[in-house]
Structure 1
Amino acid sequence: MDLSNKVAVVTGSGQGLGLAYAKDLVRHGAAVVINDVNQATADAAVAEITAAGGRAVAVVAPVGSTETAQKLVAGAVDAFGRLDVMVTNAGILRDKVLWKMTDDDFDAVITVHLRGTFTCVREAVLKFREQGDGGRIICIGSPAGQRGNFGQTNYSGAKSGIVGMVRTWAMELQRAGITANAVCPVAATAMTETVPFLAPYIEGMKNGEPLPDIIRREVGLGTPEDAAGIISFLASDAAAEITGQAFAVGGDRLALWSHPDLTAVEYHDGGWSADDIAAQWAGTFGDAVQSVGEEFPEELMAK
């Protein structure tokens, strides 16, 4: 997997999953722009990469605005002469149940995740089209955006919107040779430490204990490094024909999320009244109703 001719921006890459993505891209030869809101964190990430012989520079700015998106693309071009890959990973959490979530809680998460993805991808695509030789858009989604998650109205909405944008971009950008895909990772990070039944396993991992198979396989949770290979693959020439997809990755598991599709269809001449729907519901639609939220093995939830 040779990425030595590639230049990538990875937003939110000072630590955690973003840093794992950046380091894996560098390990395969790419040059990277590290992004974080903290100068010391960004500088430490760059120092770690360059000390190992990699190429990296830092752009310190909060993702969301067009100005930051322009700084990120300019940072890649100024340092390395071009841009080939945009990985939109930056994110924050403001978890609260709906009736306690404030406008600020909602807007902050939407700004970083959804608007930040839009502005960074738009700026990258402008550069890709100017260069004329394609490009790679890799947007970070979440299982919460695919299935919903308690207390995450803002986060689930943003992550769902990201996958919807990716499907649209895959159509709009295909003729320019630009692919757009989403990756929905699950990894032991500060975000997943707050999940009660996962906390003991993550704490054990910090103490050098291996994660059991039920966590790495059925839950699909592992280290940030476990989720990084799919990023380098999608950035490579080997993925030139893959676009508009949403990947699930974590631990020992790699999977594709399905696109939303019709699960039950019935027709009624002249359209459907409320009484018509009530009469037909159990026979056609009742058994086709789908669950919400992530589903985990029962033996984990019983602990």
Structure 2
Amino acid sequence: MLLEGKTAIVTGSGAGLGLAYAQELARHGAAVVVNDVDAEAAASAVASIRSEGGRAAACVAPVGSAEAAEQLVSTAVEEFGGLDILVTNAGILRDRSLLKMSDEDFDAVIDVHLRGTFTTVRAAYAHFKAQQVRGRIICIGSPTGQRGTFGQTNYAAAKAGIVGMVRTWALEMRRSEVCVNAVIPVAATAMTKTVPYFQKAVEADERGEPMPDFFRKTLGFGTADDVAGLIAFLASDQAQGISGQAIGIGGDRLQLWSHPEPVVEELHDGGWTVEALQDAGRRLIEADLQTVGESMPELPDELRPDPA
């Protein structure tokens, strides 16, 4: 099996995408530490893995602190003898537009997503180095961190920051041959169930039917299981040498996000004074203004949401 003899931690894996990742890793032979703040959800996830012949143990802890990160690594070592794979998936949402977003809203999301990724990766990498493990680290990003989304200042900052950390860690971990990547999933979640645009896709999935091609191909939007295969691949020895990447996946679509690069440049003798910027600089910038947010194509008539 692809991951036979490996041990993985998946944060935020009591339900949703995290559960799909944990189940897929176990299906390919890995022992999995399931993490969630909800003890019942974690126990249920462990039971679902064991019922299919897999190995799993729960670690109930709120991701964010260094203590929680150490607890996760200790659980992997104590239950399964080591650690080889870390998937940082835990997250929360506190959506508000800028003037309505409180300090508490901002801090809560940053603490779980960004600080939680930092502390768990730090703890896992310390174990990898000490034990000379060529480990795998997979950090979950979001299209919001790549392009922005209205009302998600906190979430966008965290997810963009995760990709920035992944690129830095790829440099720092190169000598240890530890591979670290970001995955940018586009999949049906509890949140997308409430969005009318995705109604027909979610309804098809709940009926056990394939989502229409418009969602799977045009939008690259699918199920949690569509994302899980990439997680298992990146966790495997087959992915050696792939590091520092932001890889998008959803439905039938796989993407490789570019690292930010200049799209245009021009020299100006003597430097860019205010006067030069008002003239040549303004024309240069306006000719290549970059988009913000995601532009969603119009739904075909047959996929429009049902009237309320």
Letter in 1 for 2:45: A
CA distance in 1: counterparts of 2:224 and 2:108, whole angstroms? 24
Deviations 1:16-43 (A, max 9, x none): 1001001111111001000001111100
Correspondence 1:195 to 2:168: no
Q: Which residue of structure 2 aligns with residue 99 of structure 1? A: 99
**1:102-121 matched pairs, under 5 angstroms:** 102-121=102-121
Structure 2 distance, partners of 1:266, 1:193, is 46
SS of equivalent to 1:230: helix
**Partner SS for 2:58:** strand
Counterpart position of 1:236:
236
1:241 is aligned with what amino acid?
A: G
Deviations 1:231-284 (A, max 9, x none): 110011111100000010111111111110001101112211122112113542
Partner of 2:49: 49
1:104-148, Cα deviation, whole Å (9 max, x unpaired) = 110000000000000000000000001113211100000000000
Amino acid at match of 1:173: M
- Matches of 1:143 and 1:20 in 2, distance apart? 19
Structure 1 counterpart of 2:218, which letter? E
Q: How many residues align?
A: 303
Letter in 2 for 1:154: N
Aligned twin of 1:179: 179
* Cα separation, partners in 2 of 1:299 and 1:131, compared to 1, 3 Å: same
2:95 aligned with 1:125: no
Q: Which residue of 1 aligns with 2:286?
A: 286
Q: Structure 2: which amino acid aligns with 1:157?
A: A
Tell me the residue number matched to 2:61. 61
Matched, 1:245 2:211: no
Name the CA distance, whole Å, in 2 between partners of 1:79 and 1:39: 17
Q: Report matched runs for 1:1-303 at 5 Å.
A: 2-281=2-281, 283-299=283-299, 303=304
Partner amino acid, structure 1, of 2:183: V
TM-score, length-normalised on structure 2? Answer: 0.95
Cα drift, residue 298 of structure 1: 2.8
Structure 2 unaligned spans of 5+: none
Q: Which runs of 5+ in 1 are unaligned?
A: none
1:300–1:286 CA distance, 2 compared to 1 (3 A): farther
Q: CA–CA distance in 2 between the matches of 1:293 and 1:136? A: 31
- Normalised TM-score (structure 1): 0.97
Give the letter aligned to residue 31 of structure 2: A
Percent sequence identity is 59
Structure 1 residues 120 and 262: CA distance shift in structure 2, 3 A: same
**Distance in 1 separating the partners of 2:201 and 2:24:** 25
C-alpha RMSD of matched pairs (Å): 1.5
- SS of 1:64's partner is coil
Kept in 2: contact 1:197–1:300 (CA 8 A): no
CA contact (8 A) 1:34 1:58 kept: yes
The amino acid of 2:21's aligned partner reads: Y
Which residue identity is paired with 1:139? C
